[in-house]
Structure 1
Amino acid sequence: MSLVRIKDATDPGTWGPAIDEAVNAVSRGELVVLPTDTVYGIGADAFDPRAVQALLDAKGRGRHMPPPVLIPDVRTLDGLATSVPDGVRALADAFWPGPLTIILRAQPSLAWDLGETRGTVALRVPDHRVALALLRRTGPLAVSSANRTGRPAATTVQEAYRQLGASVPVLLDGGTAPGGVASTIVDATGDVLRVVRLGALDLEALNAVTPVEAPLPPQETADAPGTGPGATEPGATQPAAAAAQPDVTPSDGPAAAPAPAGDDERVDGDR
């Protein structure tokens, strides 16, 4: 069993060795814990199916709840997604890095297996310097909240360790995560851009950039085309929402209600 190492990543002037250890762990197919702009996340190489499965196992989560993917910058978008609408590019330019997750059609040629995604992928660029420093070295990471499914999301590296234990050999300590409100999720797989979960960004902010439809009522969302498979149904096959937020049982409240980051992944922190 790997030795668990909590590495100080609070100071950019001295965090080089800590980032190196995390990069090496990812390259070996191991998991890492990293801070994000919402809560702490658990990450794996998005192109290593065994590592992604290890992430799901560590959380006690099935393949029907695939993790979102964190990327280092908007330039990575076209390599992972296809048929990217102009409106998505406008939103990404306006709100990345930041609390916006976008569900897109995944590039069909990609050699990855994130779970039962139905050909979609949820992408986000986090607004956190440690996460971005790591992503620039590793490339895309599958990231979910650093907690066991159904338990509160971790806002400190110590909380993440208590929940995940020896399943994660390298944990980056970036100090206390902000927690707060989860990312807003926009589905771009249909004929229109549509919010499937309101979070840190409201409809007014989105529509100031490009037209985005309001969330459908819960009873309509599950069957409506273009809203993202199972995006509001607990336990349904769905693309993961935001990276780095918590995984708690979704509520039965209105789809338009802002999602608190510390109470579900909502880190899917999306995350």
Structure 2
Amino acid sequence: METIWIEKDALAEAASLLKKGEVVTFPTETVYGLGADATNETAVKKVYEAKNRPADNPLIIHVASIDQARAYAQEVPEKAEKIMAAFWPGPCTIVLKKQGPLAATVTAGLDTVGIRMPNHPIALELIRLTGKPLAAPSANSSGKPSPTSAAHVAHDLNGKIAGIVEGGETGVGLESTVLDLSDPSQPTILRPGGVSQEEIEAVIGPVRFKTNVGHQSEIPTAPGMKYTHYAPVEPVMIVSEKGLGWKKAIEIAQGKGEVVGLLAFDHTIRQYADEQTISFSLGENGDVISASQRLFKGLRYFEDTEATIILAEPVERAGIGEAYMNRLEKSAASTFI
């Protein structure tokens, strides 16, 4: 298949492909999404095929308005109304009981669906032009770091999809928070993301966390709960303050013949600039927003270098730092040193 590049001022071409049941990637404020008409079973199956995504891993549908969201939810409870008012458009997905003509594959057989309204002009206009909600997981090969640029998408999916809408680099850099409100008496964060637990609780009160399935036979309610995610080619290890420390970790890795990639803040990179390492900056020390924006780009960066192992810097689990650590731990299979 030939994959065509579509400029942001030619969205009618992208919408035409989507209406024909093709798959097109587009930018959102979080990462690039792999879009298909969420009501077209054949189109949605193409998403799974292009990503090599497990069939029991449900997709999130993207809408252009709250009214459009209502068409695919049995009811929108008061807490969901408050979340929509506070965070839509934005990086917050709400899981509700489904209704309407959604493709069965979108929800992996569940009676719930994740819905979000992205905060990106290209994404919103493309949904409006298509006239349907778009099922849109991250536009990468399943298990790999999510794409924050069109170049990342092309690296993974060129020749497997119909089109790529060029929209520059994304802003948030991490996928949306997934908040399960299908039982409004027990609000539950299934995936931390661009809207923090603290921000959500300020709007609707206490929420629970459940970011992994209880058993491998369980169908996950949201992406990221069951399968390997965000893993680059090179193994990733998180350098913990309670562990070996940077100097010892570098020495041990190099002693085993590894070429070390440092995914770290500037102050750490400067400190070990003479250790014959390859580095990618997460930003200034302690800038968690910058680190979150640059994490996936950094994980992908080392694939085009001689690095054979990535030593990565953690952040405090507060605000978006919770989402950063969720993604970093999954990329490292929770390996701390």
TM-score (norm 1): 0.78
Structure with larger Rg: 2
Partner of 1:248: 230
The equivalent of 1:194 in structure 2 is 188
Determine if the alignment matches structure 1 residue 7 to structure 2 residue 1. no
- Aligned-pair distance for 1:4? 2.0
| 1-structure distance, mates of 2:148, 2:41 | 27
Q: CA RMSD in A?
A: 2.8
Q: Distance in 2 between matches of 1:241 and 1:167?
A: 21
More helix, by proportion: 2
- 1:124-168 CA-to-partner distances (Å, cap 9, x unmatched) read 111111111101112200001110011121221122112111221
Q: Which residue of 2 aligns with 1:103?
A: 95
Q: 1:98-132, CA deviations, whole angstroms, 9 ceiling, x for partnerless residues?
A: 1111111101x425221524111001111111111
Change (3 A) 1:33 1:241: same
Q: 1:261–1:57: structure 2 CA closer, same or farther, 3 Å change rule?
A: farther
Stretches of structure 2 lacking an aligned partner (at least 5 in a row)? 232-316, 331-337
Which letter does structure 1 place at the counterpart of 2:194?
A
**Is the deviation greater in 165-174 or in 24-33?**
165-174
What is the distance in 1 between the residues matched to 2:115 and 2:189?
14
* Gap regions ≥5 residues in structure 1: 10-14, 224-232, 267-271
The verdict on how the C-alpha distance between 1:222 and 1:207 changes in structure 2, with shifts beyond 3 A counting, is same
Alignment of 1:1-271 (within 5 A): 1=1, 3-9=2-8, 15=9, 18-107=10-99, 109-113=100-104, 114-138=106-130, 139-190=132-183, 191-216=185-210, 222=213, 236-241=218-223, 247-248=229-230, 258-260=322-324, 263=327
- The aligned length equals 237
**Larger relative contact order (CA 8 Å, sep ≥ 6):** 1
CA change 1:64–1:47 in 2 (3 A) is: same
Contact kept, 8 Å, 2:150 with 2:166, in 1: the verdict is: yes
Does the CA-based 8 Å contact 2:191-2:222 persist in structure 1?
no
Hey, what's the Cα distance between the residues in 1 that align with 2:166 and 2:60?
Answer: 22
**Cα gap change, 1:69 to 1:149, in 2 (>3 Å):** same
Return 207-216 or 157-166, whichever deviates more. Answer: 207-216
AA in 2 matched with 1:163: D
Secondary structure at 1:91 match in 2 = helix
Distance 1:54 1:73, change over 3 A: same
Whichever residue aligns with residue 149 of structure 2, its letter is T
